[in-house]
Amino acid sequence: MDAAEVFQAADFKSVRFVVTFQNVTTRTEIREKEKISLIEIAERSILLEIPGKSCSPRHSVLIRIERPTKRKLKAAVNADTKRKATPDYELLFDATGKVVSVEDTGDSVDKVLIDLVQFDIENWRRFMEVFSSRQDDIEKFFSAAKG
């Protein structure tokens, strides 16, 4: 039995996040949200992977973290048109932050550590719960896979 038979990528899609990154200092935004990955969260900071050269240390940034919700769209206006359902997004957390460090990881990708400066503490706690439940799910999966 090889790893492909044991591990299914879909098992790790328990919670999907969409991250919006806006650099307030340079007045730019990363428009391709699929190129932003949430790597790690800590007490008052987050680590993201973003396209290279999007920010520098000491830059002020706005971060918005959402998750898709399932919502069915109403039927198309005419019978000839078929539309796929598109997700709505539920805001989990947003904050103003300060870039602490930027590490070039190659392939035009940077790891960026951001200290959270201004945010709603209750939203942060709820987000931490969602994130930690995701981690719990992964740990349970590995325990079950071990047998």
Domains of the chain, first to last: 16-74+85-120 (2.40.10)
- Inform me whether the pLDDT recorded for 63 exceeds 70: yes
pTM: 0.72
Sequence-separated (6 or more) residues with CB below 8 Å from residue 139: none
CA Rg, the chain, in Å?
18
- Inform me whether the pLDDT recorded for 47 exceeds 80: yes
Instruction: State residue 26's pLDDT score.
Output: 97
Pairing relationship of beta strands 109-119 and 88-106 according to DSSP bridges: antiparallel
- Inform me whether the pLDDT recorded for 73 exceeds 50: no
Q: Residue holding tokens 């240390």?
A: 57
- Quick one: residue 129, left, alpha or beta (phi over 0 = left, psi -120 to 50 = alpha)? alpha
Distances (CA, A) of 48 to 13, 109, 112, 143: 18, 10, 5, 27
Query: pLDDT by residue (tens digit) across 23-38?
Result: 999 999 999 999 999 9
Instruction: State residue 59's pLDDT score.
Output: 98
Higher-confidence residue of 128 and 94: namely: 94
Tokens read off for 130: 């969602």
Task: Give the confidence band of 61 by pLDDT, cuts at 50, 70, 90.
Answer: very high
Instruction: State residue 87's pLDDT score.
Output: 63
Instruction: State residue 15's pLDDT score.
Output: 59
Count of C-beta atoms within a 10 Å radius of residue 51? 16
